[in-house]
Amino acid sequence: MAYQPYDRNASGIVFFGTSATDQVFESSSNFVVDAANSQVRVPNIVVSDGGKIGSASQTGILTLASDGVATFSSGVVIEGNLTVNGTQVVLNTETLNVEDNIIILNSNATGSASADAGVEVERGDDTNVRLQWDEGENQWSFTNNGSNYHAIGVARSGLVYDSTAGNKYYFDIGAGNGITVNANDIAVTAGTGITVNSGGVNVDITGLTELTTSASDDVLLIYDTDASTHKKITKSNLLTDLGGGTVTSIAVSGTDGIDVDSGSPITTTGVIVLGLSNVPNAALANSSITVAGDAGSNQTLSLGDTLTISGGSGIVTYGANTDTLTVDLNVDNSTIEVATDVVQIKDSGVTSAKIADGAVTEVKRSRTVDSSFANNDTISSDINLVSGGAGGIAVKLPTPVSGKIVVVKKIDSAAGTVTIQQNNTDTIDGASSKSLYYQYETMTFVSDGTNWFVI
């Protein structure tokens, strides 16, 4: 069966009707095929949500979502200008090529500048860093930690960046005009220079002209190693603290040299020590000692002279207070203490050969007594009173010393035995120990320097 078209002279797209009420064969002049130019012309094209548009070889290149977002699955080339009126542009790309050599930030700014601008680097879990123009400071600055910003200095004539491997963080002073800081304050010319080494700053002052004028505010810099910092001293402070640079009052104190006196103009504490070992005696003022003799007879001795004490009445001291006189008697550094009506000999090396027979009597001996002992104690006294207790006790003789005498006595009535043991490898009458069993039993031991013997 055949049907005659509803419109025999269709000027648009001819299509079949879609329902029983439509014409079997219809056409629309708003949907035009331009065969000459291979074009289809239509005011609007509407596809289903998520619908795709593509080419014969690349279908579905453009997808239109229900929220109006268009997604291109392939590249997009825009021959003309691209204007984005949204609030942000997100580029999920690894490479960004921009042909223009100037990128303008804050392009919508008008009037006086107020907003900072710069480039920020996203560093993942680490703090972002930024390079920015600081409008408040009117200069470029940067941050390496997101908090502290540092100004970017300006390299002027003579200051050049050193790009040598290993030195890329430093600037060098080139052969230009050197460095001038606040003209007439610091001027470093080519050939003199300042070099910075790992240990500090070295300044070559060759060829510099000495400054002949001075002022109270001239500064001397010193380094305090304890505080690890530099400190400043002005000329006026230095002269004031030194009393105008003149020391007028000192006093000799003690045996360590010359101490600084507290008299004006010295106001600071401290000690000036002068070594006098190389100063001749004759060059010292008042370099003599006066020895007062009996009945007003005096003798003057210069430093370095020898005082000789001859026989006769010897040395006599007067006065109620005790006087001490040290005399070298060549008896192994022994000394004589001279008190009122008493002469005492302090033994620091006197031997029996140097003491007259009978000079040391029993009443003049000094002995030590000990009655407090724990088990295995080493005896340190001359006379030792030991309790054995119920279980007994052991004590050790001291290290053998020739002529040394030690007395040990058991003083309690308990059944415990008092055992006297050798000190190390020494013996006691050839044995390693001796014992006291009964109350008031006593043993006396003497050493020959190697072993002990009961006497």
Q: In this model, does residue 209 exceed pLDDT 90? A: no
Cα separation, 454 vs 434, in Å, equals: 9
Q: In this model, does residue 248 exceed pLDDT 60? A: no
pLDDT at residue 74 in the model: 82
Note the pLDDT tens digit of each residue in 54-112. 888 888 888 989 998 888 888 888 888 888 888 888 888 888 888 888 888 888 888 88
pLDDT at residue 275 in the model: 56
pLDDT at residue 296 in the model: 60
Q: In this model, does residue 432 exceed pLDDT 50? A: yes
- 201 band by pLDDT with thresholds 50, 70 and 90: low
Cα separation, 146 vs 127, in Å, equals: 6
pLDDT at residue 204 in the model: 63
Radius of gyration of the chain (CA): 56
Note the pLDDT tens digit of each residue in 406-420. 999 999 999 999 999
Q: For the chain, what percent of residues have pLDDT higher than 90?
A: 24
Q: In this model, does residue 155 exceed pLDDT 80? A: no
Entry pTM: 0.32
Note the pLDDT tens digit of each residue in 359-387. 666 666 678 999 999 999 999 999 999 99
Which two tokens mark 292?
């007062």
pLDDT at residue 338 in the model: 47
Q: In this model, does residue 254 exceed pLDDT 50? A: no
Q: Report the run of H or E that residue 239 belongs to, with start and end.
A: helix 235-241
The residue count of the chain comes to 455
Average pLDDT, the chain: 73
- Check: CB of residue 32 under 8 Å from CB of residue 12: yes
Going 207 to 212 to 218 to 222, the CA torsion angle's sign is: positive
Residue 65, C-beta contacts closer than 8 angstroms, at least 6 positions apart:
49, 50, 71
Stretch 411-432: mean pLDDT, rounded?
A: 96
Which two tokens mark 211?
């400054």
Which two tokens mark 75?
């590249």
Burial of 316 (0-12, 13-18, 19+ CB in 10 A): exposed
Lowest mean pLDDT among 298-302, 323-327, 386-390: 323-327
Would you kindly state where each structural domain of the chain is located, as residue ranges? 1-44, 159-202, 219-277, 308-363, 367-454
- 131 band by pLDDT with thresholds 50, 70 and 90: very high
pLDDT at residue 198 in the model: 54
Highest mean pLDDT among 89-98, 138-147, 177-186, 284-293: 138-147
Going 311 to 317 to 322 to 328, the CA torsion angle's sign is: negative
Cα separation, 399 vs 447, in Å, equals: 9
Q: In this model, does residue 182 exceed pLDDT 60? A: no
Reduced 3-state DSSP string for 86-135: CCCCCCCCCCCCCCCCCCCCCCCCCCCCCCCEEEEECCCCCCCEEEEEEC
Lowest mean pLDDT among 147-151, 330-334, 427-431: 330-334
Cα separation, 162 vs 237, in Å, equals: 42
pLDDT at residue 454 in the model: 96
Lowest mean pLDDT among 59-68, 136-145, 178-187, 212-221: 178-187
Specify the higher pLDDT residue, 93 or 125.
125
Q: In this model, does residue 188 exceed pLDDT 60? A: no
Specify the higher pLDDT residue, 143 or 317.
143
Lowest mean pLDDT among 73-87, 158-172, 205-219: 158-172
CATH code assigned to 367-454 = 2.60.120.640
Half-sphere exposure (Cβ direction) of 6: Cα atoms closer than 13 Å: 11
Q: In this model, does residue 292 exceed pLDDT 80? A: no
Specify the higher pLDDT residue, 103 or 162.
103
Cα separation, 184 vs 191, in Å, equals: 18
